[in-house]
Structure 1
Amino acid sequence: MKRDLEPNIKRNLNRTKTFKAPKRKKKRVFRSLFSILFILMLVAVGWFYLTPSGTNLRYMLADTIITTKHRYLAKYLIGQSELDRRVASYSKEFDVMAQVKDKHNVNLNLSATVNKSVEIESISGPGFKGYIMYVHDPKMVRVVTTNNVGQGEQVLSMVKRTGAIAGVNGGGFDDPNWNGNGFKPAGIVMSGGEMLYKGSGMNAPINVVGIDRNGLMVAGKYKPSELLDMGVREAVTFQPKFIVNGKGLVRNEADGWGIAPRTCMAQKKDGTIMFVVIDGRQPGYSIGATLYDVQKILLEKGAVTAANLDGGSSTVLVKDDKVINQPSSRYGMRYLPTAFLIFDHPDQVAVNNIWQGIDMKNFDSSKKK
C-alpha cells in the first residue's frame, strides 16, 4: 500500500513545481510592464511641462477650460498666478485689437435688385463641424431682444415670434456661475438705431459688434454716444474684432483663445454678412475651434472684417423655424437677451425696450423669472 502512494506523491509534487514557475514569470512580466508604463508616464509628463510643444498644448487646454464655466480648473495646468495673468493678457490684447483702424473697404452700392437670399454652407476642420450663413443684403439683419421681463429668450422662440427667416445668438450677458437667467446684457444693445441698453452710460468705451444704417459692419471699442453719431443701427457687446481690412489679427493657434463652440460675424467686400457657427464640446462629433481656425476660414471666404460673438453654450443657428446646428449644452438652447435675426422686411420689425423702467443695477441675474 505504501509503495502505491509514493508515485502519486511524487506526481503531485511535480505538478506543484510546474504551477509555480508560470506565476513567477507573470509577476516578472507585470513588473516589467509597470516599469515601462511608469517610464512612459514620466516621459509624457516631462514632455507636457518641459518642452515647447507640450507647453503649447498645455496652454491650449488651459485656454479651452477658461472659456467654460469651470475656468478655475485651468490653474491645475498653468497655476493660479498664470491663469490670472492669462485672462488679463487676453483682455489687454483684445483691447489692442479693437483699436486697429478699419478703413471700411466695403462696396455697399446696393441696388433695388440686391440679392435677398439667405444661404447656409456646411464647414468642417480638424476636430470641428459647423456652418456659415450668408446674408447678401446686410440691411436684412436686425438685433432682436428677449420678450420676457426678467428672463432671456431662446433664439428659436425669437425667430418664430417675429417671423424671421433665420437667426444666431448675439451679445454677452451677465451670467453668474454660468447659470444666469439671460436677461441682463453686457455693455450695450442697439436695435433700429435706438440705444435700448447702456450698462455703463453713454461715454464709457465698450467693445461692440454691429451694422450701421448703410449696411456697413462696425466692430471695435466705441462710446455709445459715438455709435449714435456714426449712424449705427444694430449692435451688441462682445469681443474681439479679429479681422480688419482683410488681415487677421490672431497671430497663431496658441493665441486662438482655446477650443470652444463659436459664433462669429463677418463682412465681405461686396457687403455680404457671414455668420459662422461652430459646434463644440461633443467628442465624436465636434470638439470646437479656436479663433485662429475661424479666422482662416473667414479669410478664405473673403472676409474684410470679422468679430467674435457670444459662443460656448450660447452658440445656435436657426433657419426656417429649425435649429440647424447641435448646441453644446445638454439642457438645450440657452435663454439669451439678444440675437441677430434676418428679415425680409426689417423695417417692419418692432423691437421694444424690455429693460425700460427696470433698475438693472439691482437686478439679480442668477434668479429665474
Structure 2
Amino acid sequence: MTTDNIPKRRISRRGLLAGGVGILAAAAGGSAWALDRYVIDHVEVSDASSLTAAKVVAAEAANDGTSTATSYSSDTATISIEKVETGSGSDKVTYFVADVQVTDATIVKSAFANDQFGENIVANPSVIAKSVDAVLAINGDYYGFRTTGIEIRNGVAFRDAGARQGLAFYSDGTAKLYDETATTADELIAAGVWNTLSFGPGLVENGKVLSGIDSVEVDTNFGNHSIQGNQPRTGIGLIGANHLLWIVVDGRSSGYSRGVTMTEFAQIFADRGAELAYNIDGGGSSAMIFQGGLVNNPLGKGQERGTSDILYVAG
C-alpha cells in the first residue's frame, strides 16, 4: 500500500515521499544505496516472453448494493465483469468482479513491464496488456519491488527464493496456497505449475475465510510492511478448475469507495463461491483492464500506476 503522485516514474511506489530518497539515503548511510535499491532498473531477463517451459531460467461482502455488468465470449474464454456498489457516504464500497471461465488454463498468462524481468521496471497495466493483446488483465504481485519469492510465469522459473505464502496455478486449471520455503521452483514446475504469485496472504481455503488475515505483514522492507485496514485491493479466487474470480476493490476515495479490510475482501470471494482466494498487490496499483480500457477507478482519480507485471487472459 503506497504513496501516490510521485513525479519520477521509476521511484518505487512503496512510499518514497517527495524528498524521501534523500531521507532514506541518510538513514541508510548514502544516496548510492537508495538509488540502487529503489530507483535504478535492474534487468535480469530481457525478452522474457520468448522463454518457454522447456527453457527454464532460474533467476533471482454479499452483493446487496447496485451492480452493472459486461461480458465477453470466445471459443476459449467466457468473461463477465460486474461493478458492485454497497453502502453509502463514507462507508461506500465500490468493487469489480470478473468471473472468468477458460477451456485451457494456459491462456491465463503473466506479462512483465517492457517484457523484462528485474527490479524497478514498471509500466501501466494497460500498456503491458496492450503489448500482449490481453482481453482481460489485472495487476500482478509487483515482484520487482522485492528480491525474494518464487516467481514462475507461463511455465518458466524466473526467481527461486522462497520467503512467504504463495499461490500456485497448475496447468490443469487448479490452484493451491503453498509455503514457498518448503519447496523449489523446479519441484513446482515438475508438478505442473504454470504460474505463481508471491504476495498474500491467502484469503479463503476450502471455501472458508482464513482467520488472522487482518494482522498479516507481507514484508518487512521499507514502506511495505503493512497491508492492514481499509485499502484498495486486488485478489484472485478459484471456484473450480478453470473457473476464476478476479476482484479489484477501489479505495481511499470518500464517497466513492473506502476500500475494505482483508477479512471483508475474503468474504466477498467466499460469498461468490470461491473455494480458494489470494491477495495480491493493492493500493494505487489495483487495476483491471478489459479490452484495452481501465475498468476501475484507482484512488478515485482514474489514473493507473506503473507496476512490474500483470496477469491476463489471452485473446
Q: TM-score range by the shorter chain?
A: 0.5 to 0.7
RMSD: 3.1
Tell me whether 1:250 sits opposite 2:211 in the alignment. yes
Distance 1:185 1:164 in 2: 27
Distance 1:238 1:251 in 2: 16
Tell me whether 1:160 sits opposite 2:130 in the alignment. yes
Distance 2:206 2:79 in 1: 24
Structure 1 unaligned regions, length at least 5: 1-62, 72-112, 176-183, 345-369
Contact 1:171–1:186 (CA under 8 A) maintained in structure 2: no
Distance 1:300 1:166 in 2: 23
Distance 2:16 2:298 in 1: 18
- Tell me: CA distance 1:273–1:331, structure 2 relative to 1, closer, same or farther (3 Å): closer
Give the letter for the 1:165 counterpart.
Answer: V
How far residue 114 of structure 1 moved from its aligned partner, in angstroms, is: 7.5
Distance 2:194 2:288 in 1: 22
- Tell me: CA distance 1:186–1:306, structure 2 relative to 1, closer, same or farther (3 Å): same
1:328 maps to: 299
Cα-to-partner distance string for 1:176-234 (whole Å, 9 max, x where unaligned): xxxxxxxx665232222110233x3xxx4543223111111232322323322321111
1:274-285 alignment to 2 at 5 Å? 274-285=245-256
- Tell me: CA distance 1:192–1:270, structure 2 relative to 1, closer, same or farther (3 Å): closer
How far residue 251 of structure 1 moved from its aligned partner, in angstroms, is: 5.8
Tell me whether 1:318 sits opposite 2:276 in the alignment. no
4+ residue stretches of structure 1 with deviation over 6 A? 252-256
More helix by share: 1
Cα-to-partner distance string for 1:6-29 (whole Å, 9 max, x where unaligned): xxxxxxxxxxxxxxxxxxxxxxxx
How far residue 337 of structure 1 moved from its aligned partner, in angstroms, is: 1.4
2:308 maps to: 337
Contact 1:277–1:315 (CA under 8 A) maintained in structure 2: yes
1:129-140 alignment to 2 at 5 Å? 129-137=94-102, 138-140=105-107
Distance 1:143 1:291 in 2: 24
Contact 2:121–2:144 (CA under 8 A) maintained in structure 1: no
1:125-204 alignment to 2 at 5 Å? 125-126=86-87, 127-137=92-102, 138-147=105-114, 151-173=121-143, 175=145, 186-198=148-160, 200=161, 204=162
SS at match of 1:303: coil
% identical aligned pairs = 22
- Tell me: CA distance 1:206–1:129, structure 2 relative to 1, closer, same or farther (3 Å): same
How far residue 70 of structure 1 moved from its aligned partner, in angstroms, is: 9.4
Distance 2:147 2:310 in 1: 11
Cα-to-partner distance string for 1:287-323 (whole Å, 9 max, x where unaligned): 1011211222111111000010101111000001000
Q: Which moved more, 1:332-341 or 1:275-284?
A: 332-341
SS at match of 2:229: coil
Distance 1:320 1:306 in 2: 24
What number of residue pairs does the alignment pair up? 227
More strand by share: 2
Contact 1:220–1:241 (CA under 8 A) maintained in structure 2: no
1:116 maps to: 77
Distance 1:297 1:125 in 2: 12
1:9 maps to: none
- Select the residue among 247, 263, 274 that pairs with 2:234: 263
1:36 maps to: none
Contact 2:231–2:259 (CA under 8 A) maintained in structure 1: yes
TM-score, normalization by structure 1: 0.55
How far residue 273 of structure 1 moved from its aligned partner, in angstroms, is: 0.5
Contact 2:2–2:15 (CA under 8 A) maintained in structure 1: no
Contact 2:238–2:274 (CA under 8 A) maintained in structure 1: yes
- Select the residue among 196, 200, 218 that pairs with 2:176: 218
SS at match of 1:196: strand
How far residue 250 of structure 1 moved from its aligned partner, in angstroms, is: 3.2
- Tell me: CA distance 1:300–1:132, structure 2 relative to 1, closer, same or farther (3 Å): same
Distance 2:94 2:196 in 1: 27
SS at match of 2:310: strand
Contact 2:204–2:278 (CA under 8 A) maintained in structure 1: yes
2:273 maps to: 302
- Tell me: CA distance 1:248–1:196, structure 2 relative to 1, closer, same or farther (3 Å): same
Contact 1:269–1:302 (CA under 8 A) maintained in structure 2: no
